[in-house]
Amino acid sequence: MDVAKRIEELIAILNEASYKYYVLDNPTITDQEYDKYLRELINLEEKYPEYKRADSPSQRVGGEAIDKFNKVVHKTPMLSLSNVFNEQEIRDFDERIKKEGFTPDYVCEYKIDGLSISLIYENGLLVQGITRGDGITGEDVTNNIKTIKSVPLKLTEPIDVEVRGEVFMHKKTLAKLNEQRQKEGLPILANVRNAAAGSLRQLDSKIAAQRELDTFIYYLMEPEKFNIKTHSEALEYLKKLGFKVNPESRKVGSVSHVLSYIAEALKARDKLSYDIDGVVMKHNVFAEQQEIGYTAKYPKWATAYKFPAQEVLTRLKDIIFTVGRTGRITPNAVLEPVILMGSTIARATLHNADFITSKGLKIGDIVSIKKAGDVIPAVTGAVYERRTGAEKDFVMITTCPMCDTPLQKKEGQVDYFCPNESCPARNINSLIHFVSRDAMNIEGLGEEIVEELYNLGFVKRIPDFYDLKTKKEQLLEFDGYGEQSINKILDNIEASKQNGLERVLFAIGIPGIGSKTAKVLAHRFGHIDNLMQADQETLEAIPDIGNILATNIYNYFQNNQAFIAELKNIGINMAEAASERKQNDLITGKKFVITGTINDYTRNEIKDILENYDGIVSESVSKNTDVVIVGENPGSKYDKAVQLKVEIWNEEKLKEIFNILV
Ligand code: IVH
């Protein structure tokens, strides 16, 4: 056998396969075939090391670990980009180019959230991969770069060229990696950029190889050498050479098209497999780029529009514990205040001790904060590269921070509880819950006032709220309460007596009963007396109420008869309020099924509205179904509805009906 020839053949097959799979996303051979050829190649190379070639894909699996990265000075500094944050700043940028006497002609690209690298090829072969570093000097990470499957080891032309682009990690890869790390008890990685940076700086390239990094190349150095005149041509040429170029890069022309590109990118963002943090706009003509010029840090012919941050980094200053109304202990992050999506964040829940351990958080860490569901701030992880050694380990407390009672943890549960029924923290939070918006909705009684009323001895138990009117004179003696505001609060307290059963059931804090279940119970029983007489079996038979809830409800009323009697005596309305029961001929008493996507309402919103009017929502269509609500891409339920001749409401009809309600 001609060994050299076979090696050449195998390298050609494998590199072609990688290119098709990782660059074009269009695999032509199976993983098994790839592995078979690769094994054959590695065996041959081991036997005949003299035939090992620079572009051999055997290097993709990683090689010997090194003890440090060599520093390399970039031939041309790796510049950064200026940032713009809104339409006005984009237009200002555009105006500056016009003022210089040029007609802007932009190429727009995604701003990939990764780290930039420079790749140097000689005679078409990859010889060096360098990180950006400080822009002047970077680190030689060639061994790790070679493990990235989308980086061609050999170009389609035997040229000397330097290109630049972004190394990044796909969102799914990070999720998989973190899952694995969690299993191994390792701290999780905060975001794709840190994960990619950490992976590229692995001294052991075998580890880097497992990290499945990817690249997009967006910059061709010295384009004049190849007679290339514009950035868009350069991107085409990069593709032709075998590089992975982002498919969304587009020559858009004028600034108004830049704005629509940005709007589209924002829409596409969440569906992408990788993270982007903005859009880069670049003036297309190279000769003009040189005339427009550079500052020390940035090119003046390009800028990056940054999306509003969805994630920020800040310091975890401390972890403090709060005691909920059920006695549950919650650790909370005390953060160096930061602004995220328009609001200042200084606190975030850390859920429970297991959450903190699984993320490997230490006090003093730089942590990443995201808004979960765009509202509640969540700590997603620590940035380990920024540890100084001064961070402190997290230690879970063993006694209640409020009353010092030893904490308890139930078998198989993650939460710790303060078991002391008279723990002040538990009591204060029960009182706060009672008056809160979704409960008795007593305006003017904020958390701080309730706490103060508790500490001053005015309100120790729920019934005390309704006795406050007899203590007006004493209340007036305390600073900060004007007569007018006290009168208002007292009026609101008095008015809350008429709220009705639904709110009362939620407000008194029966374990496990949220506002939804409270509504179901109020509808079903109409008056608290009926509910208190219900046995467990009756309760369990109600849809959405399982065995545990039924037991909770039953036990609660067994143990709290005197308390309920007290509330009744105060004059709190224990019947379902008339306002809670709404009627509409099109909905009340009818059976509904929802299928497909409705654009303007979520399924739960539709369900809530229908149930508010005593409509019944079920999952499957039968001859008993009155109406099927049909959205976009409906399922088989639609066909069944047609077949059974059930009335159908489309989104338009639904909106028409909902609009006349209330
Ligand atoms: S062009 C001289 N294009 O953003 C211009 N950069 O904030 C060099 N980046 O350091 C950069 N996507 O790491 C360019 N499509 C893109 C980019 C991009 C991400 C990064 C790059 C750069 C940083 C500047």
Structure confidence at residue 146 (pLDDT): 95
Q: Is the pLDDT of residue 657 over 80?
A: yes
Same domain, 484 and 512: no
Is 272 inside a domain boundary? yes
Q: Using the mean position of ligand 1's atoms as its centre, give its distance from the Cα of residue 121 in Å.
A: 20
Note whether 215 and 164 are same-domain residues. yes
Distances (CA, A) of 13 to 7, 315, 322, 338: 10, 50, 61, 52
Name the closest-CA residue to atom 6, ligand 1: 111
Is 550 a domain residue? Answer: yes
Please tell me whether residues 362 and 467 are part of one structural domain: no
Segment 121-131 shows an average pLDDT of 96
Angle of CA points 148, 151, 152, to nearest 5°: 130
Nearest CA to ligand 1 atom 23: 80
Q: What number does the ligand 1 atom closest to the CA of 302 have?
A: 5
Choice from 113, 134, 166, 216 to test ligand 1 binding pocket (greatest atom count within 8 A of CB): 166
Q: Is residue 523 part of a domain?
A: yes
Positive/negative CA dihedral, 177, 22, 135, 90: negative
* Domain end among 272, 303, 334: 303
CA distance 280 to 552: 57
Cα distance between residue 455 and residue 450, in whole Å: 9
Q: What is the CATH number of the domain that holds 553?
A: 1.10.150.20
Determine if ligand 1 sits within 6 Å of the CB of residue 83.
no
Residue 597 and residue 476 in one domain: no
Task: Give residue 579's pLDDT.
Answer: 58
Q: Assess whether 214 and 351 both reside in one domain.
A: no
Q: If residue 173 lies in a helix (H) or strand (E), which one and from where to where?
A: helix 171-183
**Residue 566 located in a structural domain:** yes
Residue 166 near ligand 1, beta carbon < 6 Å: yes
Phi, psi of 400 (to 5 degrees): -65, 130
- Among the candidates 303, 322, 347, a domain finishes at 303
Backbone φ and ψ of 127, nearest 5° = -115, -25
Own/partner pairs, 350-359, CB within 8 angstroms, 24+ separation: 350/319, 350/379, 352/414, 352/415, 352/416, 353/394, 353/396, 353/414, 353/416, 354/414, 355/331, 355/414, 356/319, 356/331, 356/394, 357/394, 358/182, 358/188, 359/187, 359/188
Active site residue 297: no
Q: Is residue 581 included in any domain, yes or no?
A: no
Scanning the structure block, which residue is given the tokens 């984009």? Answer: 90
How many Å apart are CA 326 and CA 427, to the nearest integer? 9
Residue 68 belongs to some domain of the structure: no
User: Residue 309: what pLDDT?
Assistant: 76
Q: Are residues 282 and 382 in the same domain?
A: no
Residues above pLDDT 90, as percent of the chain: 69
Task: Return the higher-pLDDT residue of 214 and 59.
Answer: 214
Q: How confident is the model at residue 191 (pLDDT cuts 50, 70, 90)?
A: confident
Q: How confident is the model at residue 662 (pLDDT cuts 50, 70, 90)?
A: low
For 392-449, the pLDDT digits (tens) are 999 999 999 999 999 999 888 899 999 998 999 999 999 999 999 889 999 999 999 9
In this prediction, residues 133-161 reach a mean pLDDT of 95
| 277 within ligand 1 shell (Cβ under 6 A) | no
Could you tell me if the CB of 109 is within 6 A of ligand 1?
yes
If you measure from the C-alpha of residue 132 to the centroid of ligand 1, how many angstroms do you get, rounded to a whole number? 11
Q: Which of 281, 303, 325 is where one domain is finished?
A: 303
Average pLDDT, the chain: 92
Identify the residue whose C-alpha is closest to ligand 1 atom 9.
Answer: 111
Give, in order, the Cα–Cα distances in Å from 352 to each of 155, 159, 376.
52, 57, 16
Q: Which of 5, 68, 99, 111 does the annotation list as catalytic?
A: 111
My answer on whether 286 and 315 are in the same domain is no
The domain of 37 spans 3-61
Q: How far is the CA of 386 from the centre of ligand 1 (A)?
A: 23
C-alpha 252 to ligand 1 mean position (Å) = 18
Residue 411: inside a domain, yes or no? no
120 & 265 share domain: yes
Sheet holding 627-630, edge to edge: 616-618, 591-595, 627-630, 647-650
Q: Is 257 helix (H, G, I), strand (E, B) or coil?
A: helix
Residue 355 and residue 459 in one domain: no
**Domain containing residue 607: CATH number:** 3.40.50.10190
pLDDT per residue over 590-632, tens digit each?
999 999 888 888 887 888 788 878 888 888 898 889 999 999 8
How many angstroms does the Cα of residue 304 sit away from the middle of ligand 1?
Answer: 8
Q: Is 79 in the pocket of ligand 1 (CB under 6 A)?
A: yes
- Closest CA to ligand 1's atom 12: 111
Closest ligand 1 atom number to CA of residue 298: 2
Mean pLDDT of the region 117-139: 95
In this structure, the answer to whether residues 278 and 137 fall within a common structural domain is yes
DSSP, res 224: G
Cα of 385 to ligand 1 centre, how many Å?
22
pTM beyond 0.85: the answer is no
Give tens-digit pLDDT for 521-549.
998 899 999 999 999 999 998 877 888 89
| Nearest-CA residue for atom 2 of ligand 1 | 79
Q: How many domains does the chain have?
A: 6
CA nearest neighbour of 593 among 541, 636, 556, 557: 636
- CA–CA separation, 565 and 542 (whole Å): 25
* Domain membership flag for residue 452: yes
> Mind listing the pLDDT tens digit for each residue in 13-66?
999 999 999 998 888 899 899 999 999 999 999 999 998 888 899 888 887 888
Residue nearest to atom 10 of ligand 1 (CA): 80
Q: Which of 196-210, 370-384, 446-460, 494-508 has the lowest mean pLDDT?
A: 370-384
Residue 29's CATH number: 1.10.287.610
Task: Determine the Cα–Cα distance for residues 154 and 54; give it in Å rounded to an integer.
Answer: 8
Q: Could you tell me the pLDDT band of residue 342, with boundaries at 50, 70 and 90?
A: confident
Considering the domain architecture, whether residues 45 and 134 belong to the same structural domain is answered as: no
Whether 491 and 510 share a structural domain: no
